[in-house]
Amino acid sequence: MSRVTVELANNGYDVLVEPDAITSAGSLLQPFLKNNRAFIITDENVAAALLKELEASLASCGVSVATHVLPAGESTKSWQHLETLSDFLLNKGVERSDTLLALGGGVIGDLTGFVASILKRGCNFIQIPTTLLAQVDSSVGGKTAINSKAGKNLIGAFKQPDFVLIDPNVLDSLPDRELRAGYAEVIKYGLINDADFFAWCEGNSSKLLQRDAEALTYAITKSVAAKAAIVADDEKELTGIRALLNLGHTFGHALEAETGYSSKLVHGEGVAAGIALAFHYSVRRGHCDGVDVQRITEHLKQSELPYSLKSANIRASGETLVGHMLHDKKMSGGTLPFLLANGIGETFLAQDVDLNDVTEFLDQAD
Ligand code: GLY
């Protein structure tokens, strides 16, 4: 069992990483359930795999439960489901001191967290992430949101959870492709500021991708600790420190946008290709050695993740891809900050990137 504390001035919390934690969720969560009742929010797929176990564990501790099951998929992060979920909770008599349990991946965590930030001007919530991507990224740090016609995650709030309960064994039923996509975010932490962790990934990824509980617990705990340290330094992404977590995301989002955010390239795959492009671009600018890019490319290939435009099946021109970047919510005063690197574990925020140069780079990239 490992515990990471997200140290914040007013609203810090713990993240517990423990194989089989779902089976003892009742006793682990009860201290947070002020009214000895809980509201579980989940989706159809996760409900089929894990809901009974969670409900039984809570019931065995005398906790009463009301459950709302939403459709699975990105379209659930919508105004429509924000309304249906809020109505469900209000009809059940939810109070400010009540706690919502988000049992699911990033979609359920983001929607539930956003509802928790506005319901009765703020109630409690706990994240129980069930995908690797949610376990190592979206369940920690308090970014919550829904999508709108204008784009993804544009309506949201910072709302830190009260606790995060991570059970690496729930990943046993996760499809391989989703596990690999989540792994791209794990690699990211090594590349941001921990070269030793990237070397650990190189040596242990095959065990991890075969769902070895020890390797998963180690990688999830290291990732959560890395994210917690960054969030503690810059909770609301004001100083540029939290922006480091966006390594690979500016290029990656452009690739995802080119596929219409479809299953042709899921988020973690976009991040993987985006990381490779960010490092290649860092070499072009003279920041980084080509040997580092080779190591990263080899590792992405070995992990069956995209490592280039071609391997991500993207054929668009530089102009088209940079056009997608212009819709990025990080655009400020007509420029876009980029996460570049001096080497593995040495990522930095560059504010002086010329988008014409990025266009030329993408036209020449493989
Ligand atoms: N996923 C990036 C962040 O939480 O800031």
- Residue 137 Cβ < 6 Å to ligand 1: yes
φ, ψ for residue 137, nearest 5 deg? -135, -75
Q: Does residue 334 surpass a pLDDT of 80? A: no
User: Active-site residue 143, yes or no?
Assistant: yes
pLDDT at position 306: 98
Six token digits for residue 150 = 């204008």
Condensed to tens digits (0 to 9), the pLDDT of residues 130-183 reads 999 999 999 999 999 999 988 889 999 999 999 999 999 999 999 999 999 999
Residues 6 or more apart whose CB falls under 8 angstroms from that of 116 comprise 100, 122, 123, 124, 125, 144, 159
Q: How far apart are CA 280 and CA 298, in angstroms?
A: 13
Q: Is 284 a catalytic residue?
A: no
Cβ atoms within 10 A of the Cβ of 286, count? 6
Q: Residue 319: what pLDDT? A: 97
State mean pLDDT over 309-333.
Answer: 91
35 within 8 A of 94, measured Cβ to Cβ: no
* Whether residue 141 has its Cβ less than 6 Å from ligand 1: yes
Whether pLDDT at 344 is above 90? yes
Which of 68, 159, 180, 242 is an active site residue? 242
Nearest CA-CA partner of 303 in 128, 186, 148: 186
Strands of 64-70's sheet in order across: 2-6, 13-17, 163-166, 124-129, 99-104, 37-43, 64-70
353 CA from centroid of ligand 1 (Å): 22
Task: Please indicate whether residue 262 or residue 218 has the higher confidence score (pLDDT).
Answer: 218
What average pLDDT does the segment 12-27 reach? 97
Q: How many angstroms separate the alpha carbon of residue 113 from the centre of ligand 1? A: 14
Q: Whose CA is nearest to atom 2 of ligand 1?
A: 245
Flag whether the pTM goes above 0.75: yes
Other C-beta atoms closer than 10 Å to the C-beta of 302 total 13
Answer yes or no: are the C-beta atoms of 112 and 100 closer than 8 Å.
yes
Contacts of 115 (CB under 8 A, 6+ apart): 41, 82, 85, 86, 89, 100
- Does the active-site annotation cover 246? yes
CA 290 to ligand 1 center in whole angstroms: 28
Indicate the range of 48-62, 137-151, 211-225, 317-331 predicted with least confidence: 317-331
Nearest of 80, 3, 67 to residue 41 by alpha carbon: 67
Output DSSP code: residue 343: S
* Residue 6, pLDDT above cutoff 90: yes
State the average pLDDT over residues 16-32. Answer: 96
User: Over 90: is that where the pLDDT of 35 sits?
Assistant: no
